Amino acid sequence: MPRTRRRLASTCIGTVTAGLLATGAALTAPDEDLPQGSDIAMGAYLDFGPQGVARIPTLSRWLGGKEIRVGHTYLPGDQWAGIEGNVSFLADWAAWRKDGDDRMFVLNVPMQARNEGRIPDRQVARLIREGAEGQNDAHFTKLAERLVSLGVPDTVIVLGWEMNGTTYTHRCGPDPENWKAYWKRVVNAMRAVPGQEFKFDFAPNRGTDAIGWTKCYPGDDVVDIIGMDSYDQAPGRTFDEQISQPYGLQQHVDFAKAHGKRISYPEWGLFRNGDNPEYVRRMLKWIEQHKPIYHTITDYCPHGVWQCKQNPDSSRVFREALTPQVPPVVPTPVVPTPVIPTPVVPTPVVPTPVVPTPAVPTPQVPTPSVPTPEIPKPEIPKPQVPTPAIPTPQVPTPSVPAPEVPTPAPVPSPETPSVPPLVDPTPTPAPTTPTPEVPVPPVVEPPVVEPSPTPTPEVSVPPVLPPAPSPEVSAPASPAPVPSPLVPKPQPPAPKPPTNSKQWCVPLNFGEWLSKLVGNQAVCVKLDWGKESGLWPF
Q: What is the mean pLDDT of each run of 10 residues along the chain (538 residues)?
A: 42 40 40 55 97 98 97 97 97 98 97 96 98 98 98 98 97 98 98 98 96 98 98 92 97 98 98 96 98 98 96 97 77 69 68 66 61 57 51 46 45 40 42 44 45 43 44 42 49 54 67 70 64 50
pLDDT on residue 496: 56
CA distance 232 to 268: 8
Q: Do 112 and 131 meet the contact criterion of CB atoms below 8 Å apart? A: yes
CA distance 297 to 304: 7
Q: In this structure, are strands 521-526 and 294-298 parallel, antiparallel, or unpaired?
A: unpaired
Average pLDDT along the chain: 76
Q: What share of the chain is helix, strand, coil (3-state, %, to 5)?
A: 25, 10, 65
Residue type, 328: P
Residues 220-237 pLDDT 10s:
999 999 999 999 999 888
Bridge partner list, 104: 70
Q: What are the DSSP calls for 345-384, one per residue?
A: PPPP-PPPP--PPP------------PPPP-PPPPPPPP-
Instruction: Tell me which of 3.40.50.920, 3.20.20.80, 1.10.3720.10, 3.20.20.140 is the CATH number of domain 18-322.
Output: 3.20.20.80
The residues of the chain that CATH labels 3.20.20.80 are 18-322
This prediction has a pTM of 0.58
- CA 217 vs CA 10, 224, 474: distances in Å: 20, 12, 177
Q: Do 319 and 309 meet the contact criterion of CB atoms below 8 Å apart? A: no
Q: Do 98 and 154 meet the contact criterion of CB atoms below 8 Å apart? A: no
